[in-house]
Amino acid sequence: MEAKQDKDLKKLQRIERTQTFFLSYIKKIGKWFLYTLPLVLVGITALALLAYINLLDLTFVGLLLKTVFYIVAIIYGLNSIILLIGAQKSDKLFKFKLKYERKKGRPIESLDGFRMLSHNVHHVINLIRSTAFLCLISTTLYIIMIAFNILEIGYAAIGFTLFGLGLVLMVRSLNLKIGDINGLQDFYKPQIHQIFLDNLFSDVLSNHLDPVTYLKWDEYKKGLSKILNPAFVKRIKSLEKKEIPVNFAVEKILYLYYLMFHDVITEDRLISELKEVVDLKSDTFDVEKGLIIENKWYFSREDFNKLFKYINEFNPGFFNIIDRLQLELYDNIEKLSEDKIYLDSSAQELVYKNRDLNVMVFLFNNSEKEKEYRIKVVAPGFEPNNVSLDIKVEGRGKFQIPDHEIPLTSSEDNDIVGVLSEMLENGDSIWITLEPKLVGEQTIQIFLEDSKGNIIEGKTRIVKVATNVKYYFKRLTSLGSILGGLTTPIARILFPL
């Protein structure tokens, strides 16, 4: 069984390398040919049809123009073939990846959001295939037009070219990096997520992972649990007997990489802090490369940087909560240590009407035992416009916020990195998604109530809802190119010169 699995893994990695090669060409070179060469071919052909230039002329200038046209058409055709192969390889890799994981007992298809992801991926692959076929037909027509001196074919060639260009503009993205961490993020939106979050940083990050990467995240946490620093495990178990040490470790690791993302701490400080959590001498973990999973490095520092940017695109309010908590620990730690409950909330200040508004609420119960609270969100102009959630916020246990100033990082004593990561793990969060219904400035009110309905704290936020002009412009441009492709040959038939 293991031999068969190793054989499948090698085959999977071989397909990944091939697909990566073609995808790299398409992204760096091929897509620009798809945008520019059609305009060159259509422009020259249109000028010839309007008798401004003569492609059939046998003079030096005519032969030179014909040669240039041939070269552009051939490059256009070869580029289309590579595009078609790239689409085929991407489709093969995606299907084999699903098959491989299912054989391991991990059916990706069962994960939330997979159907949406699969639909979007196959939609783009089919668009790329269709575009490649149209480009090949156009190339064939252009060559026949020149080789056999049949200028009339140019009308059909222009039609197919414009139609293909229109399909290219409809492609959501060419980033079909199936083997990379969140390599399919352009085809997946984190619209399906947990409402109640126990480990804020870890849960938010995992809810932004595409379903293919989500399986790797589970393996990442499992791998980390095997190389945790024994002293770290002992300390966590002494404070939180019922908690799993790797959850605290992940919160701290993510926060450290987040600080590195903003160049807040140095490389040496990062290594020093990570030593407290994991065994850096392990062959399976590297500060830069991440963790080895199935003979490949995953969740590197670069991967986390990419994920932080992706989360910030959809849910920037999450990082505001992290940053404000860090600020409170730095400036007001004495007051924070005395507060019975710490509440913070955040949401995008600007959201497009066709996008979701993510409202994040973080609660830290500064008592040993759990307490019951109610969160109310009143949001006229959004759907739903009124949300009420009862929540049991776990107690801090034996963990205590220091009542004196502490540094951001320290190798000897308490520091903000350690305290903040433990607050994130001990605290509870709510993630609510609202759909904008009205354009303009909208008001959102967030209330914290006790179990009897008494308001403990409240906050009002202003959100500007705008129309995504860029989205509609791209759709109209694509539609215009397709219509142009359809009407060119029809116009020639109806209105012959």
For the segment 128-160, what is each residue's pLDDT rounded down to a tens digit? 998 899 899 999 998 888 888 888 888 888 888
* Full domain range(s) for residue 74: 2-179+472-494
**Are 373 and 339 part of one and the same domain?**
yes
3-state secondary structure of 495: coil
* Banded model confidence at residue 242, pLDDT cuts 50, 70, 90: confident
> Same structural domain for residues 246 and 102?
no
Tell me: do 241 and 370 sit in the same domain.
Answer: yes
Are residues 452 and 486 both part of a single domain? no
Instruction: Please give the share of the chain, as a percent, with pLDDT higher than 90.
Output: 38
- 420 contacts 255 by C-beta, under 8 angstroms: yes
Which residues contact residue 204 at a Cβ distance below 8 angstroms, ignoring those fewer than 6 apart?
A: 197, 311, 315, 318, 429, 431
- Candidates 150, 168, 166, 158; CA nearest to 42 is 158
| pLDDT score of 45 | 84
**Same domain flag for 390 and 480:** no
DSSP codes of every residue in 181-214? TTTTGGG--TTS--SEESSHHHHHHHHTS-HHHH
Identify whether residues 286 and 366 lie together within a single domain: yes
Strands 350-352 and 455-466: parallel
CATH of the domain at 325: 2.60.40.10
Query: Does residue 206 share a domain with residue 339?
Result: yes
pLDDT of residue 205: 92
Q: Are residues 233 and 253 in the same domain?
A: yes
**Same-domain status, 441 and 479:** no
128/257 same-domain check: no
Q: Across all residues in the chain, what is the average pLDDT?
A: 86
Return the closest-CA partner of residue 307 out of 190, 228, 199: 190
Output the CA torsion sign for 69, 72, 74, 76.
negative
The single residue listed with the structure tokens 């990419």 is 306
Tell me how many domains the chain contains: 2
Q: How many CB atoms lie within 10 A of CB 488?
A: 22
The pLDDT of residue 51 is above 70: no
- Pair (434, 314) in one structural domain: yes
Query: Rounded distance, CA 56 to CA 148, Å?
Result: 10
| Confidence bin at 474 (pLDDT 50/70/90) | low
β-strand 371-378 against 440-450: which pairing, if any? antiparallel
DSSP string, 238-303: HH-TTS-HHHHHHHHHHHHHHHHHTT-S-HHHHHHHHHTTB-TT-TTEETTTEEEETTEEES-HHH
| pLDDT (0 to 100) of residue 488 | 47
pLDDT above 80 (res 293): yes
CA distance 336 to 349: 26
Q: What is the pLDDT of residue 56?
A: 64
Distance (Å, rounded) from C-alpha 319 to C-alpha 347?
Answer: 10
Binning pLDDT at 50, 70 and 90, where does residue 408 land?
Answer: confident
Which of 357-371, 405-419, 481-495 ranks highest by mean pLDDT? 357-371
**Is there a single domain that holds both residue 408 and residue 488?**
no
178-230 pLDDT, tens digit each: 889 998 888 887 767 788 888 888 999 999 999 889 989 999 999 999 999 99
3-state secondary structure of 237: helix
pTM for this predicted structure: 0.82
Residue 171 has pLDDT above 90, yes or no: no
What is the torsion angle, in degrees rounded to the nearest 10, for the CA atoms of residue 332, residue 337, residue 339 and residue 342?
Answer: 80
